[in-house]
Amino acid sequence: PFAKNIANYLATDHSEYYCNKEDVRQMTEMMPYHYDEPFGDSSCIPTMLISKFAVKDVKVALSADAGDEVFSGYNYHSGIVELNKYIEQSPKILNSLIANIMEWIKAEKIPFLNSTYNFKTRFERLQLLLKDSNYLNYLKTYNLQFTDKDLKKLLKTDLPASKITLFDSELTQECKDLLSQVLATDYSTFLVDDVLVKVDRATMSFGLEGREPLLDHRLIEWVSRLPNELKIKKIKDKKYLLKKITN
């Protein structure tokens, strides 16, 4: 219903397609051929399906990729900003003390909280941030599926601490704050290696040309210099500027 409402608001032609199990099965069977590598983003299935649907009427389509990475649209962007406020307000020596105490506490033994969703992992990740609240640890906290402790337990061997490698480390060195560092990391890693790969292969699998206007380097450079208040107004009001433009 949201897509239809937006189409009505913008006075554009709107088409709808409701997929079924057979559609999903067909797209899943096509994935290994077109992606030709391990690819864990399940949204490639609807992206392939919409490409198949769109190519019946058009040969070139605009995509809004990079909107979340550049204008700050993911939930963890606002989550990182909010959590960082609380951690920065507390003295580092106190944070370190709490982290050391947490080291001796087993999350699964904490009454009431131990039954909440994914509490053990969240407990360990909070401890990581209290020890060192640098932006890479924030990314680990919100994005990694397994903590170092999880991996050690699963693989039954000692592993070096997990690392997040940036393709362009200079990109984050010039960032003025935590959110800017996170966004720079997103559009130099996740956007490049996941989102754009997904869309390019999904569209081309049906002969559809995808175009990405939000990847204009002039736009990205301009937005990166804007104050964070124009990206996240409140914790639930993300991509504020982008939404404001459409009003």
pLDDT at 207 (0 to 100): 96
Give the separation between CA 9 and CA 3, rounded to whole angstroms.
Answer: 10
Question: What's domain 1-246's architecture?
Answer: 3-Layer(aba) Sandwich (3.40)
* Token pair of 143 as six digits: 């994005």
- What is the number of helices (H) and of strands (E) in the chain? 14, 4
CB 192 within 8 A of CB 167: yes
Q: Is the separation of the CB atoms in 189 and 166 below 8 Å? A: yes
Per-residue pLDDT tens, the chain, 247 aa: give them: 688 888 888 888 888 888 999 999 999 999 999 999 989 899 999 999 999 999 999 999 999 999 999 999 998 888 888 888 888 888 889 989 998 998 888 888 888 888 887 788 778 888 888 888 776 777 777 777 777 777 778 888 776 665 555 544 555 566 778 888 888 888 888 899 999 999 999 999 999 999 999 999 999 999 988 999 999 987 778 899 988 887 7
Give the 3-state secondary structure of 107-123. HHHCCCHHHCCCHHHHH
pLDDT of residue 46: 94
The pLDDT value recorded for residue 167 is 42
Q: What is the pTM of this model?
A: 0.78
**Rounded Cα gap, residues 179 and 183, in angstroms:** 6
Structure tokens at 27: 């797209």
d(CA 62, CA 105): 51
3-state DSSP assignment of residue 210: strand
* CA angle 114–118–124, rounded 5-degree value: 80
Instruction: Note whether 102 and 123 are within 8 A (CB).
Output: yes
pLDDT at 76: 86
For the chain, give every domain's residue range.
1-246
